[in-house]
Structure 1
Amino acid sequence: MFKENVFTLINQQNGNLAFKLFYFQDNSHFDHIQRLNYFSLIWIQKGTGKVKVDFSEYDFVENDLLAFAPYQPFMLIHAEEVKGVVLNFHPDFFCIHKHHKEVSCNGVLFNTVYSSPIVAIDSVSATTLEMVVSQLKTELHNPDLAQYELLISYLKIFLITTSRLKSQQIPEFKEEQSDSQNPFILQNLKDNIEAHFKSKHSASDYADLLNISPKSLAKITKKYFNKTLTDLISERIIIEAKRELYLTSKTVKEIAYELGYQDEHYFSRFFKNNTDVSPQLYRDTVGFAHAEE
């Protein structure tokens, strides 16, 4: 056991968690559904198992990093006893939306509609990340001038390193299928969801746009993305809703309308069914209008 395995920084303005680093020796932290109001990076340094996240399930192995956005539901089921380290940070501490140009992790590490939450950490990168974790741990012990700035600098290095790895590990489609028409269809699907998710919410809408039967499109989508088409559409809407709730002062009704929902209450139920919290609670606990400050 580590003599000290939890290092926490609290936001003095509101008493909420700002940043936390901790080591885990078993799966007890993650053996039930987590819906955290902060970002979570879980580095599996020993052990194997499965991660259930959103609508899918993936296998993880030693030296995999798992990345989760606020209120993204996940849990780990271990096959072999797991050990590792976790970095948690609140959007008030570091907003990936506002700093996207610097770290480019939104849509790569976090809020990834089309890929798994897993990054494989190679030995060279593991050495870098170990050094960064050590520096973070040291700085958490050192509440001197500019502590936040140094912690954020080290966090950026961690995020940039892992985002680069993830981007290298996500080929758009499986190489062995490159000679088929499926990747072309799926790229068109991704483009169409991005273009129309605010106005078209049903799977049949996209089957019509692609001129393919809903059943055929459903099979292809499940095979490549391990999610249903309805899941993909819902996840994209939720990501946009979270972004609007966090970055703007728009009312829930205005956000609902912009996302194609005439009924604010229907939208709120849809949001809560997918995140387990209401839009207002998400805003209250994760952030609100930070881009306008």
Structure 2
Amino acid sequence: MYTLVSSQTGNMAFRVSRFEEVASLQEQQGYNHYNILLVTKGSGRLFEYTFQENALLALGLYQPFQVKGELEGVLINFHPDFFCIYKHEEEVACNGVLFNNIYAPPLMQLAATEMAALLNIIRQIEEEMARPALAQYEVVMAFLKIFLINASRMKLERQEGLVPVGNEPFILQSLKDAIEQYYRKEHSPGYYAGLLNITPKALNKLSKTHFNRTLGGLIAERIMTEAKRELYMTAKPVKRIAFELGFNDEFYFSRFFKNNAEVSPVVYRETVGWGNNP
């Protein structure tokens, strides 16, 4: 296990370890850092998704997860203070691809050559961390950036290769557009069903079939994605963020946030931080 500690906070900034070194891997988890799992051997389950060896799993900030299965592989953790996916959005397109894409699975199967390429970057990171030297923090960050760019390219290639006709009904693209347009004001599944002239039950069934989420879960996840971004990137009071996301009651918003992230908006902001990220 190799760990970099922030000189400012004294907390973990970046870590790479093997699965066997992480005793709690298969327990329900939610952390104030990003988690990337490279599964090199075994098969398992994450949420409603099954995966085989040569899989990459990407989990966001305070995203509770449980990995089931007898597995071998590598775990990467990094805090947003070490690398901010929002501020590096133009350089590294992992936001909305590896992380924060509510319509796509949080994992992908890799070809053996792709896994080998990513593991090679990990090997270089471990070699760098094994011998502390000048600007090690910056070098490891550069390697992480290369890793994220390569992984994002791999996932984008898979998404671009999908043919929606016959697989994903056209109405679901209309649903995506509607959620993007109205999620700040409309939180009810019934509203979107009425907008698309379909019954809530039928739309919910389509959502579960194609997105592995209920319609209500899909809407909640979109709200949470924006709430986390606002808490992380701005100094806005929680009350204002709640109002901008369609919540008239700050305390109801806090309960909603905690139900979905297992921490309150205040704790999230305190442990993730804002405005001081590289």
SS in 2 for 1:271: helix
- Secondary structure, counterpart of 2:213 in structure 1: coil
AA partner of residue 58 (structure 1): Y
1:210 maps to amino acid: L
Q: List aligned pairs for 1:195-274, cutoff 5 A.
A: 195-274=181-260
For 1:118 and 1:171, the matched residues in 2 are separated by: 16
How high is the TM-score relative to the length of structure 1? 0.90
Indicate the RMSD between aligned Cα atoms, in angstroms. Answer: 1.8
C-alpha deviation, 1:130, in angstroms: 1.8
Instruction: Give, as a single letter, the amino acid of the residue that structure 2 aligns with 1:131.
Output: N
Contact 1:64 1:120 in 2 (8 A): yes
Show the 5 A alignment for 1:1-293. Answer: 6-25=1-20, 28-52=23-47, 57-78=48-69, 81-170=70-159, 175=163, 178-179=165-166, 183-290=169-276
C-alpha distance in 2, partners of 1:232/1:100?
Answer: 23
With the length of structure 2 as denominator, give the TM-score of the two structures.
0.95
Cα distance, 1:179 vs structure 2: 4.2
| Distance in 2 of aligned mates of 1:199 and 1:26 | 45
CA contact under 8 A between 2:4 and 2:137: conserved in structure 1? no
Aligned residue pairs, count: 278
5+ unaligned residues in a row in structure 1: which ranges?
Answer: 1-5
Gap change, CA 1:206 and 1:233, over 3 Å in 2: same
SS of equivalent residue, structure 1 residue 9 = strand
Greater strand share, structure number: 1
- The question of whether the paired residues in 2 share the 8 Å contact of 1:42 and 1:86 is answered with yes
Residues 27, 76 of structure 1: 8 Å contact kept:
no
In structure 1, how many angstroms separate the alpha carbons of the residues matched to 2:22 and 2:34?
A: 19
SS in 1 for 2:184: coil
User: Would you say the 8 A contact 1:110–1:117 is kept in 2?
Assistant: yes
What are the Cα deviations for residues 81-102 of structure 1, in whole angstroms up to 9, with x where unaligned? 2110011000000000000111
The percentage of aligned residue pairs carrying the same residue is 49
